[in-house]
Amino acid sequence: MRNAIALILAASCGTPACAQEQMTPQDFLDLAVNRTLSFTSVGSENLVGVEQFLRHDLSVWADETGRCTYGRIELRGPHLCFLYEDAPDPNNCWIPFMDDGTLLVMSQGSREVQRISDISDKPVICEGAPVS
C-alpha cells in the first residue's frame, strides 16, 4: 500500500525528487485543531470544501456549495476517519502526507488526493455551529 501511495503522490507532484512523508493522524490534528483548512483536488485544482477542526474529535465541513455538516473524527491506525451527520460512512478515511512542504491527504478507498491549499483562523460560518 505504501508503494501505491508513493506512486500516486509522485504522479501528483510531477517530479521523482518530491519528498513525501506520511504524517500520523495525531500530528495532522495537532496542526489542524482550532484552524480551518481548504481542500483542493489534485489535478483539477478545484476547491472541494473547507473544514474547521473544532476539537480533536469534532469538525464542521462546508462543501464547495457552502452546505455544512458536522463530523465526528476518529483515529484508526494511520487513518483519519470522519463520520458526518449527513453521510455517516465509516470508511470515509484519509491518510495525511507532507510532500515537499505541501500538506496532502489521500482517501483510503478511492485513492483521491487532495491538497490543503489554505490554513486559516477564519471559522466556517454555519448556523448553530458549536464553539468548542
The total of structural domains in the chain comes to 1
pLDDT tens digit string along 79-94? 999 999 988 888 899 9
> Percentage of the chain with pLDDT > 70?
81
2 pLDDT higher than 50: no
Q: What is the CATH number of the domain that holds 29?
A: 2.40.128
Residue 71 near residue 52, CB atoms below 8 Å: no
Query: What's the chain's Rg over C-alpha atoms?
Result: 14
| Reported confidence tier of residue 129, pLDDT bands at 50, 70, 90 | low
In a domain, 132, yes or no: no
In a domain, 47, yes or no: yes
In a domain, 130, yes or no: no
In a domain, 131, yes or no: no
In a domain, 129, yes or no: no
Residue ranges making up the domain that contains 15: 2-120
Residue recorded with cell 478545484:
46
In a domain, 127, yes or no: no
Query: Per the structure block, which three cell numbers stand in for 96?
Result: 495525511
